[in-house]
Structure 1
């Protein structure tokens, strides 16, 4: 085989890979369940990180304007502002940056775990039942919601049940509305 044909095959393979990227996904771990869990985890963790950094940037901008808590901010924002990073008051920028990175990492991990767990459960239930319907979404949402409630500090029985019901309701609604829009 000559060199020209060899490079042509490599180029064609690379082009084929790039063209078919959306079909295969980001990862190939050898099993569709693992691929789906990891891909969903990575995507959701990225979204969680962006959300955490944008929230911190917003609060930093609000603090920079000199606005106090009674300056027209809604109560849910002013209470979140008070409790967001309580150990940073009066510390150096390096420690503030370190705390922001830790907070962003923690939040992105939470988002990733929730999305990966949900994706894995819906895929597993689809394979086990042979159908993908609102029932799979409801069960996966309930289990994911309850699991997330268990990660909270001092979680109560009521919180776990509320999170399970909320997770089931949101995922069921999303599944049912997917066909409409």
Structure 2
């Protein structure tokens, strides 16, 4: 029986924006903030556009609320990403090695910090630290596969 296969690769466009803050840690943190914040804002823009089209009405009030939501989500996720990227880079510099453990520690610390900033429950902070470390470690392992 003939076998069909697909040969080729899929690649996404790469946009590099570099903001020099004079410090590598700050450079990485700002880069993470800008990239993930932009993605988050674009996600909200797409969702809000869908909802406006579905409702069949676009008003100044709807546009203002959408813009506020885009800014809020972009700032939130950009901040989370900036903290994570900064933590991972910081642990890389402190430990003197680049491996998955930096991602795990950075994810755990970021999860704990974000949770502590939004909640005072100790168990929730610990669970979010575990989740942050697990997600960051999984992402690091997946990036090694590609």
TM range, normalised to the smaller chain? 0.7 to 0.9
Q: Tell me how far apart the structure 1 counterparts of residues 36 and 123 of structure 2 sit (CA, whole Å).
A: 27
Aligned length: 132
1:159 is aligned to 2:124: yes
Match of 1:15 in 2: none
Q: Secondary structure at the match of 1:179?
A: helix
Match of 1:60 in 2: 52
Query: Aligned-pair RMSD on alpha carbons?
Result: 2.4
Question: Runs ≥4 in structure 1, deviation > 6 angstroms?
Answer: none
Match of 1:128 in 2: 94
Q: Unaligned 5+ residue runs, structure 1? A: 1-20, 65-91
Match of 2:43 in 1: 51
Match of 1:145 in 2: 111
Structure 1 residues 171 and 100: CA distance shift in structure 2, 3 A:
same
Which whole-Å deviations, capped at 9, do the CAs of 1:44-77 have from their partners, x for residues lacking one? 111010011111122223334xxxxxxxxxxxxx
Pairwise CA distance, 1:96: 2.2
Q: Tell me how far apart the structure 1 counterparts of residues 61 and 112 of structure 2 sit (CA, whole Å).
A: 34
So what's the TM-score if we normalise by structure 1? 0.64
- Higher-Rg member (1/2): 1
Q: Unaligned 5+ residue runs, structure 2? A: 1-14
Q: Secondary structure at the match of 2:70?
A: helix
So what's the TM-score if we normalise by structure 2? 0.78
Residue from 91, 94, 98 that aligns with 2:64 = 98
Match of 2:79 in 1: 113
1:42 is aligned to 2:26: no
Structure 1 residues 62 and 166: CA distance shift in structure 2, 3 A:
farther
Q: Tell me how far apart the structure 2 counterparts of residues 155 and 112 of structure 1 sit (CA, whole Å).
A: 22
